Amino acid sequence: MDLSIVIPSYNERDNIRHLVERIHQALDALMIDYEIWFVDDSTDDTVEVLAHIVEMDEQVHVYHRDHARGLASAVVAGFARATGEYIIVMDADLQHPPDLLPKIYKRLRHGSDIVIPSRFVPGGSDGGLGPLRKFISFAARSIGQVMLRRLRRITDCTSGFFGFQRKVVEHAALDPIGWKILIEILAKGDYRTVHEIPYTFLARDAGESKMSLKEQANYLRHILRLVSQIPEDRRFWLFCVVGVTGVVVNIAVLCVLKYTLAVQDVFASVIASLAAMLSNYIWNDQITWQDVGTQRKWNTKLPLFVCISIVGIAITTLVMHTLSSFFVPVPIGQTVGILLATLWSYTMNNRLTWRD
Ligand code: GDD
Ligand code: MN
């Protein structure tokens, strides 16, 4: 089998027939062996519509789940049944234009591991969404892109329309929450090349969207779970949390030294910073990089950590100073400096201090 189209459906009675017709129109000219798998959780007569199509059309298959709900889990169930070398996922409501299928298929044939029709590359459009949905969708994508490194270069990481080579998911333990199966694949899949091609997300003709507030909350839970499951993201965010605890330690020690021990300000400040550095080192060693099997002893790791932190302080000051000569206010310059210094320290500690 060359290609499997996997389609999640929930109460789409007025869309299914037309969709199947349009898929045949788009793909028949390619002369390839393809199948269509509906994973259906419908509670209305979509079930009968599908049963009828399956009888007439041997390329169409249905896996009906009784009492189950969930877009992403439906798609994963579809992967287990699909036999194609390439798999394309699309919605059942014609908001994802079937005319694009040959182009996606050809891209996959030419070696792309993942192909994503995108609403956000030049030539694409998310015309099928209202302004509120557009804003929520933008916020959701941005959160995903900040939290997970592998989503950063992808403009439409929450798309429900995408294709990939079967091997991308063959060894991935897919276990998504909610709707966004693509972020699960991007975070856990085995791939090198991702290509995005422009398309217009069309308006729905029949039926209505099943997106809900609950699904938006599920999306956030899904992102957090991926952060905890993907070592590189987990380490980076733990490192940031440890950095924040360092600020708390720093201020607490400073106050104790100054107000209860009457230590001079300059000394108090230096000692507080050293205490924070030591505390950060311990937390990072015990938590952030605890799963790394490094052979190094503390008497190598601690000096490395301290040197990297001192360079980080230099970076912060340099950035603040440079920006302030362009009239950027000092607190803003300092914040930018801290962000860059965080990236620097994380990268260097990951490569040197806790290298495995
Ligand atoms: N099996 C199953 N189970 N299918 C479901 C379920 C479910 O619980 N909920 C929704 N679906 C199906 C719908 O029948 C439709 O085919 C598809 O999943 C998408 O649902 P819509 O309700 O049409 O979502 P949307 O149009 O608001 O958003 C879609 O498009 C966006 C842009 O690509 C989704 O695919 C989004 O994830 C995507 O960002
Ligand atoms: Mn839709």
Per residue in 42-52, pLDDT (tens digit) is: 999 999 999 99
* The predicted structure's pLDDT at residue 43: 94
Return the ligand number nearest the Cα of 46: 1
**Residue pLDDT, tens place only, 219-233:** 999 999 999 999 999
Q: Taking all residues of the chain, what is their mean pLDDT, rounded to a whole number?
A: 95
* The predicted structure's pLDDT at residue 206: 86
Q: State how far the Cα of 296 lies from the Cα of 294, in Å rounded to an integer.
A: 6
Q: Separation of 195 CA from ligand 1 center, angstroms?
A: 22
* The predicted structure's pLDDT at residue 292: 87
**Residue pLDDT, tens place only, 154-197:** 999 999 999 999 999 999 999 999 999 999 999 999 999 999 99
Q: Separation of 325 CA from ligand 2 center, angstroms?
A: 50
List, as one string, the DSSP characters of 176-240: --SS-HHHHHHHH---S-EEEEE-B-PPPSSS-----HHHHHHHHHHHHHHHHHSHHHHHHHHHH
Q: Is the pLDDT of residue 128 over 90?
A: no
Side chain identity, residue 27: L
* The predicted structure's pLDDT at residue 109: 97
Q: Is the pLDDT of residue 217 over 90?
A: yes
212 lines ligand 1 (CB under 6 A): no
184 lines ligand 1 (CB under 6 A): no
162 lines ligand 1 (CB under 6 A): no
Residue bearing tokens 């041997």: 58
Q: Is the pLDDT of residue 207 over 90?
A: no
Angle at 163 between CA 158 and CA 168, to 5 degrees: 95
Q: Is the pLDDT of residue 107 over 90?
A: yes
Q: Separation of 229 CA from ligand 1 center, angstroms?
A: 25
**Residue pLDDT, tens place only, 13-29:** 999 999 999 999 999 99
Q: Which residues, in sequence order, are CB contacts of 88 under 8 Å at separation 6+?
A: 3, 4, 5, 6, 101, 104, 105, 162, 163
Q: Which of 281, 285, 277, 288 is closest to 238 using CA atoms?
A: 288
DSSP SS3 for 150: helix
**Residue pLDDT, tens place only, 273-320:** 999 999 999 999 999 999 887 788 999 999 999 999 999 999 999 999
Residue bearing tokens 């709900």: 69
What does the longest C-alpha to C-alpha distance in the chain come to? 88
**Residue pLDDT, tens place only, 268-281:** 999 999 999 999 99
Q: Locate the ligand 1 atom nearest the alpha carbon of residue 93 and give its number.
A: 16
8 lines ligand 1 (CB under 6 A): yes
Q: Separation of 274 CA from ligand 2 center, angstroms?
A: 55
Q: Which of 194, 202, 187 is closest to 119 using CA atoms?
A: 202
Q: State how far the Cα of 254 lies from the Cα of 3, in Å rounded to an integer.
A: 65
The token pair at 166 is 């079967």
Work out the number of other CB atoms within 10 angstroms of the CB of residue 154.
Answer: 23
Q: Is the pLDDT of residue 245 over 80?
A: yes
Question: Ligand 1: which of 6, 10, 154 to mutate, most ligand atoms within 8 Å of CB?
Answer: 10
pLDDT-derived band at 130 (thresholds 50, 70, 90) equals: confident
Q: Are 196 and 117 in contact (CB under 8 A)?
A: yes
* The predicted structure's pLDDT at residue 173: 95
- DSSP assignment, residue 160? S
DSSP SS3 for 15: coil
**Residue pLDDT, tens place only, 330-345:** 999 999 999 999 999 9
Q: Are 279 and 287 in contact (CB under 8 A)?
A: no
The three-state (H, E, C) secondary structure of 239-287, written as one string: HHHHHHHHHHHHHHHHHHHHHHCCCCHHHHHHHHHHHHHHHHHHHHHHH
ipTM of the complex: 0.97
Q: Mean of the pLDDT values across residues 81-95?
A: 97
209 lines ligand 1 (CB under 6 A): yes
Q: State how far the Cα of 331 lies from the Cα of 334, in Å rounded to an integer.
A: 5
Q: Locate the ligand 1 atom nearest the alpha carbon of residue 74 and give its number.
A: 1
Q: Mean of the pLDDT values across residues 107-117?
A: 98
